[in-house]
Amino acid sequence: MSGVAGWTETIAARITAPGKGAVAVVRISGSKTVEILNQVAAFLPPVISFRHAYYGSFSTGDDGLVTVFNEGASFTGELSAELSGHGSPVAVQRLLEAIFQAGARPAEPGEFSLRAFLNGQIDLSQAEGIRETVDAVTDRQLIESHRLREGRISQELEGLLSAVRHALTTVEALTDFSEELDGVGIDLAIEKVDEAKAFCNRFLATQPLARQIREGMLVVLAGQPNAGKSSLLNALIKEDRAIVTPIPGTTRDSIEERLVLDGIPIRIVDTAGLRESGDEVEQLGIARTQDLMEQSDLILYLFDGSLGWTEIDQDQWQRIENKAVLVATKSDLGQSDRGIGISALTGCGLPELISALKQHILVGEPASLVERHYEIMEEVRTGLSEARTVLSNPGIPDDLASVSLRSALRKIGELTGESAPADVLEQIFSQFCIGK
């Protein structure tokens, strides 16, 4: 990505979704913005009022609005403009070509956000919040990504930074004035390290919730052949996605569909029935079922309630009951005193099953949605643990604690972007789409 090294060049890109639409918006950002506008939007007055919309015809034959933003008042923090025209792909392409010919270059993926970060408009965690917002597919993801964009991470890290800095200052004072501060100073440093570790522990405790919000729950439908797994999948997603026949072994490969419960994406997988089989293809499907059951967050184990509980069911249930919900299917044909009774045909029992699914959804508010943040916080906690070990052991020089505490501070800086290396920035911003 050339954006880190060449971010002083003027860039442009479409910032609305690609394809045909009623309106498309193109952004220009950089010192040549007004010079370029004078060539592609000659209708602008000699003196431009910032954040004022001007209407007229572009040099390309289209017409639309132009809004200019002064340095420090734009998304990127640079002199920039947004041109709104008709959403015809041809009109947008002609406008971009005219802008490039006038002196801009195409923006790379994430380069507008990168410039906003480099110009101090946002920190790195806020930039990642923008990416998470664009990628959001559920209300919950949208809410949590908005909290990131608001700068919540940096605000909450102030307490952690204060504790680590206080501990480091105390340790360095111990090194310089060991006779005067030895006992009291070590106790204070340990207290601050423990305070910082407690913050890390609270942060990391929300990682499973963050993963569930971001990646969803993997729910596997398992059971013997003809237990009603495919019928249940179709009933849950309200369409005929899986083939349903009275012939056992019809499903030989897994079928995955998605639904959303309480803002959490649920990946529901219909699998091959569990039984002994001499069919090589079916054996592969059963092996795949076993793998998915291992990977799953939750298993819905189905058995035919009209036929009753079998030894095969009991054997399978004993292996998985710690992370499974028992479901008795075909309740319209016969009732069972085990599990949640449902009928995919009539819909009876489905609300109770949905309620059982929801009980396995984690509650609370994650510290972040971004996995990178949790990886860094784990490294910070490790550094703090090392510092505490040093401070708690009189036989180890105190200055070794300074090394661990400084490492922890650098890692926190990587999270906010204050000390993130260029390769980390390129890796993060290259994941953005063009126009962001």
CA 314 to CA 221: how far, in whole Å?
A: 16
For residue 224, give the nearest of 321, 307, 294, 284 by alpha carbon: 307
**Residue 433, domain member (yes or no):** no
**Residue 42, domain member (yes or no):** yes
Give the full edge-to-edge strand order of the sheet including 80-87.
53-57, 63-69, 80-87, 21-29, 11-14, 105-106
Domain extent, residue 374, equals 139-206+367-417
Amino acid, res. 234: N
* Same-domain check for residues 45 and 119: yes
H or E stretch at 302:
strand 298-304
Q: Is 306 helix (H, G, I), strand (E, B) or coil?
A: coil
* Same-domain check for residues 52 and 111: yes
* Same-domain check for residues 250 and 353: yes
Are 222 and 274 contacting, i.e. CB atoms less than 8 angstroms apart? yes
Overall domain count for the chain: 3
First to last CA, the chain: 14
Q: Residue 104 is part of a domain; what is its CATH number?
A: 3.30.1360.120
* Same-domain check for residues 187 and 103: no
CA 267 to CA 341: how far, in whole Å?
A: 22
Q: Residue 190 is part of a domain; what is its CATH number?
A: 1.20.120.430
Give, for all 436 residues of the chain, the pLDDT tens digit: 444 445 689 999 999 999 999 999 999 999 999 999 999 999 999 999 887 899 999 999 999 999 999 999 999 999 999 999 999 999 999 999 999 999 999 999 999 999 999 999 999 999 999 999 999 999 999 999 999 999 999 999 999 999 999 999 988 887 765 554 456 678 899 999 999 999 999 999 999 999 999 999 999 998 888 888 888 998 888 865 544 444 444 444 578 888 898 889 999 999 877 655 545 555 565 677 778 888 889 999 999 988 889 888 998 899 888 999 999 999 888 777 889 999 988 999 999 999 999 999 998 999 999 999 999 999 999 999 999 999 888 877 777 889 999 999 999 999 998 888 888 888 888 888 877 7
**Residue 154, domain member (yes or no):** yes
**Residue 426, domain member (yes or no):** no
